[in-house]
Amino acid sequence: MNITVVKVGGAVVEDEAQLQQLISDFAEIPGPKVLVHGGGRRATKVAAQLGIESRMVNGRRITDAQMLDVVTMVYGGLVNKHLVASLQAKGINAVGLTGADMNIISSHRRPPKTMTVDGEEKTVDFGFVGDVDRADGLAIASLLAQGITPVIAPLTHDGMGNMLNTNADTMAAETAKALAEEHAVSLVFSFEKAGVLADADDDTSVIPVITRDSYNDLCARGVISGGMMPKIENALDAVDAGVKKVVITLATKIASGGGTTVTR
């Protein structure tokens, strides 16, 4: 099968006009496809309404027990089911999943990590955050073969009854990599920008192609930082693992092309 995996970011999920355009474009993509979604901004908003502080380090969320409850409710419920219902309205037979459903993606709780934060070396405990151990490409492909479109929330499980918050870009990349073992897979990271920008304030400054060498150089010069770093790292890992094409682009352009192509 020729399979397309599309990841949609939380900012787009929060903007109903952009989201519905993405849903329409996604429905027009030919062949089997998978939608992986974020929802971090919605989770931050709901957490604030509940009096729960949101903490981020290098673009990644710190997930304590209270925040785990919030993200499970928001990602696996509110956001996921809205996307499934929207796809059903377009004639796409979608099913909402977390990594725990059908055991499609399992993970382990991330141990404390020593990393550079604001120029200093610090040990960071991310809490109930999962690092992926395994994605089941066969299980996901079995749904696709039945004409079912998986809509995957950024939640995994550890096999011992615990849910874990997991980066949506990582979820999309691991899903694409698992499917690429048997199929031709394209991966699209869609979000609110036209691509990876050389100037964050200039939406026309799209970097057309990024390789691992150019990525390292761009990071060293401070052109790429923050939440864009794990996105590109996931894209590079996917290409290395056999995904035939990775594109980072505007959510409303997933059907028309453009953006940044990540390649070897």
DSSP string, 154-219: SEEE-SSS-EEE--HHHHHHHHHHHHHTTSEEEEEEEESSSSSBSSTT-TT-B--EE-HHHHHHHH
Q: For residues 171 and 164, what is the distance between their CA atoms, to the nearest angstrom?
A: 12
Q: What are phi and psi of 197, to 5 degrees?
A: -100, 140
Average of pLDDT values for 209-230?
90
> Residues 69-102: pLDDT tens digits?
999 999 999 999 999 999 999 999 999 999 999 9
The identity of residue 254, as a single letter, is I
3-class secondary structure, 226: coil
What's the pLDDT score for residue 253? Answer: 83
Q: Is the pLDDT of residue 33 over 90?
A: yes
- Give the pLDDT score at 57: 85
pLDDT range class, residue 136, cuts 50, 70, 90:
very high
Which pLDDT band holds residue 187 (cuts at 50, 70, 90)?
very high
Q: What percent of the chain has pLDDT over 70?
A: 100
Which among 174, 168, 172 has a CA at the least distance from the CA of 43? 168
CB atoms within 10 A of CB 254: 23
Average pLDDT score over the chain: 93
User: What confidence tier does 225 reach under pLDDT thresholds 50, 70, 90?
Assistant: confident
Q: What is the mean pLDDT of residues 110-119?
A: 88
